Chains A and B, each alone.
Chain A
Amino acid sequence: MFEIARFAGTPGRSIVVQTHKGTGLENYVAPEPTVQSANLYAAKRKQHPGWAQRKPAAGVYNCAGMVWASRRTTLPEPSDWRRVLQEDNYRQVRRGELPHVGDLVVYVRKGYTEILHVAVVFSVDRFIGHDPSGGVAIRVLSKWDNQSGEDSHALDDLVLNGGEEYVSEIWTDRP
């Protein structure tokens, strides 16, 4: 039934990507999006009017590839994303600590440790007159997948895996 895919499919080019400790990370360079994929991305964007596009539909990299591989490749394994957080000396932002631009937002499946998505803190706006432990509006930059574009959006303005429940954590490489 899928002989054409078995024999004509391509394994994809990969590059050397490692954690700080030298652990190799599985990766592949994704193809450029087709017109259909670009149209699908446009249809998803229409459902989120609060998204601000930074880059149109592009291939090559996914969310983790944008965050950890400088947009050079796709890092397809969520277990590898967890490994990067551990081996690249990231820490979770403390309670009451303000996130900074460049910190990471890690969306984790609720009740589990499985990472569903990673994004970069794009802007942090504090509401004037509010208690410093709250009243912060964070916008993050996401690459949705390796056929979509990049958009900045509010922290919870996204749909993961058809609406799976998640918890957002903020991680930083700052000391």
Chain B
Amino acid sequence: MPDTTVPAVEMRGIVKRFPGVLANDHVDLTVRTGEIHALLGENGAGKTTLMNILYGIYHPDEGEIFVKGRRVHIRSPRDAIRQGIGMVHQQFQLVPSHTVVENVVLGLPGNFFFPERAARQRLQEFAQRYGLHVDPDARIWQLSAGEQQRVEIIKALYRGADILILDEPTSMLTPREIEELMSTVRRMADEGHTVIFITHKLDEVFAVSDRVTVLRQGRVVATLETAHTDKRELARLMVGRDVLFRLEKRPVAIGPTVLEVQDLHIRSDRGVLAVRGVSFSLAAGEILGIAGVAGNGQRELVEALAGLRSVEKGRVLLSGEDITNRSPRALVQRGVCYVPGERLVGTVPNLSVAENLILKIYDQAPVCRGIFLDSQAIASHADTLIERYAVATPSRETPLKLLSGGNIQRAILARETSSKPSLLIAAHPTSGLDVGATEYIRQVLMSQREEGTAVLLVSEDLEEILQLSDRIAVMYNGEIMGILPVDRADLETIGMMMAGVHRDL
């Protein structure tokens, strides 16, 4: 058994600056050997940066790191692995076109030839000891998120990791897969492994951890024994104020049907059917929330509805008109607005705020006269939107990339909602944003609903879905498991549907 009196990891006074951001501000962290240590904080609190420093991906600007009592300089993941540290990132670090075995042995020192037989043996061993079952010959892209995560954990163990960092490990998993993960984590801790569990979900802290360290805006706020604290305290520490924001959901008269989707089939980039027979309808003044674990076809569905991906089979009707496989341009002209999940898709970072705001009306009066752009019209359009949506920017001529994530999202929302859309598609509109921006953006979506826009909201954040939606659809494996009115939806039912249980009305 390892010596449990010496801390597995000790980080002292860690400082990390990025251009314009202080990501870690003199962070101290002690992780005891054999414990499960939760690292709790909001998005942007600096949890992942801190762990990336421990894993050698980033280099600290100041501070010292001790592993198992010894002062170390970790310059690369290779150094970290040598110290017995393994990390499972939120974005899995797997080569999609390679097999499980190839991924597991990637980067290992050893003899020249590919050690296939040895690798298979170890894989079997891990399957038995920790319940990490996975087919060694499968290609990564064929595996579910949960299976891919198992490969990641196996990779770390294979390299002899006794300190395992898990970065938001449950974000891509179904409730059942989460259960399995928690049990694996506990089995590893029982065998003397140390686990650092990054999360922003309070439930998980209590479900699995021995101790918890809370980070806020790059600083450590507290380190506590999990048994001696409660959700209220942690929530307050994490956010710095009481969390509850309430949105008033005013009753709105449901208008005529705006969007009707019939038996939609859509292929993913890899050519497999990612959406299989999805049907639903959406009325003016209504928010339909689409819940589900990422990667179950939501992305393909949304892109097809925005005209960015072709539909294999099925029909899309907009106010009765068939718009299946029409160009994005045609949809824009018919009042379909789209807030994409990846902000880079919807913006041109090197162009100015003003130019980004005309991205969809650059060829219409008054911005465009004949073939010429009217710079005065562009300027006044920008000034109006910047003021109305309170976009914090030094000037309308500032390149968009210099704005914060929240303000970029405000600008996108300003552009998309200011034109009185008939259909607003919002994919993960608040992901990665701070509380203030999140609250503001949710309010904008609500006011759109009140103005009679049909809103399709895709989100992984169940709280967001429950708070905003009138009806909730759950997607699993390319199908809709059922559509529930919000007053009949509870977390348990939705959780079951996210795991693939049909719920017919």
A, B: real partners: no
Question: Which B residues are closer than 8 A to A by beta carbons?
Answer: none
